Amino acid sequence: MNANEATFGITIPSSLEVLARNLASKRGVLIYHLVTSALHEFLHFSQSRIYQISTSAALVEGIHSGSISSSTLLERGDFGLGTFDGLDIAR
């Protein structure tokens, strides 16, 4: 936890907990991120972030190695542009 985070001690119905845990598992994200996303949506709060994994120059130069999993990226957002590791498999 960093200085911009808070901990809530709340009680929710067990049926909601089951639904939340199932959805988090299905999406491959931590429950923390699912709850945070739900609160952002409910409170109409938008905090945009951009994560750059590599550069377009690397892609143009043929550097196609290295990757990050979709589940790791989904912990930080749900929109992005990308390509595949080993893109030029026709060598």
Q: For residue 82, what are the domain limits?
A: 49-91
Structural domain count, the chain? 2
How many CB atoms sit inside 10 A of residue 42's CB?
A: 8
Question: The domain that contains 17 carries what CATH number?
Answer: 1.10.1220
Length of the chain: 91
Amino acid at residue number 7: T
pLDDT digits (tens, 9 = 90+) for 25-54: 998 888 988 888 888 888 877 666 666 666
pLDDT digits (tens, 9 = 90+) for 57-84: 776 777 766 667 767 777 766 666 666 6
* Measured distance CA(1)–CA(41) in Å, rounded: 21
Distance of CA 32 to the CA centre of its chain: 11
Judgement on whether residues 68 and 84 belong to the same structural domain of the protein = yes
Judgement on whether residues 41 and 64 belong to the same structural domain of the protein = no
Judgement on whether residues 43 and 53 belong to the same structural domain of the protein = no
